Amino acid sequence: MNSQKMQDILRFLQRGGALRMLLGKDVSADLDVLFRYAKQLVGVGAYGSAARLFKILTIYDAWSFDYWFELGACCQADHAWVDAIYAYGRAAQIQISAAQAPCAAGECYLACGNKLLAAKAFRSALMVCGEEGTGQMDIRRRALVGLAKTGCEDESNTD
């Protein structure tokens, strides 16, 4: 591969392109098989193995909310808080209407002892959830419980 072609590929990836886009064929079925297998590994508690598969999936498709969110959940289950926070952050960037990502990140920040960032994450989840009765009651409840644990219970405080 010549230098110009390599530079073009690197520039494409740096601008947000995904490896899946470069393959030139539809690999959705193959990625789905890996995703389902990783979910099976999660089901039996093999979080490290599942996380490795989810990392591969995020390399192939860096724009998949599900891949990033599931990677975060595996890292959280393995107490790899920093990796979980990063993965949840990527998931939140992809789908900002998904309150479960900042809520889960808040739980990880809390586990690390970072109450300030935990409170911010929980407040973000509450903002995304909106008012009561929007169908996200479980996430809202988790965020309120987490916010209470930070000692910053005023959900309107935006620091």
Q: Per-residue pLDDT tens for 115-139?
A: 999 999 999 999 998 865 566 889 9
- Structural domain boundaries enclosing 51: 22-95
- Alpha helices by DSSP H, listed for 19-157, are 19-22, 28-43, 47-60, 65-77, 81-94, 100-112, 115-129, 137-150
The answer to whether 123 and 155 are in contact (CB under 8 A) is: yes
**Claim to verify: residue 91 and residue 28 sit in the same structural domain:** yes
Asked whether residue 137 is domain-assigned, the answer is: yes
Q: How far is CA 23 from CA 13, 82, 150, in A?
A: 13, 31, 46
Do 90 and 34 share a structural domain? yes
Mean model confidence pLDDT for the chain: 89
Indicate if 86 and 26 belong to the same structural domain: yes
Same domain membership, residue 144 and residue 102 = yes
Residue of 71, 59, 68 lying closest to 19 (CA atoms): 59
Indicate the pTM of the whole model.
0.85
Q: Do 82 and 28 have their domain in common? A: yes
Per-residue pLDDT of 46-98, as tens digits, reads: 999 999 999 999 988 889 999 999 999 999 999 999 999 999 999 999 999 99
- Least confident residue range of 14-18, 45-49, 72-76, 109-113: 14-18
Q: For residues 11 and 45, which has the higher predicted lDDT (pLDDT)?
A: 45
Distance from C-alpha of 22 to C-alpha of 13, rounded to nearest angstrom: 9
Residue 63 belongs to a domain: yes
Q: How many domains does the chain have?
A: 2
One domain, residues 27 and 90: yes
Asked whether residue 6 is assigned to any structural domain, the reply reads no
Residue 125 near residue 143, CB atoms below 8 Å: yes
* Final residue belonging to a domain, choices 64, 95, 126: 95
Last residue of a domain, one of 62, 95, 128: 95
Greater pLDDT, 82 or 24:
82
Residue 103 lies in a domain: yes
The verdict on residue 13 lying in a domain is no
Q: Residue 154 falls within a domain, yes or no?
A: yes
Write b or e for each residue in 115-139: b if 16 or more Cβ atoms lie within 10 A of its Cβ, otherwise e: bebbbbbbbbbbebbeeeeeebeeb
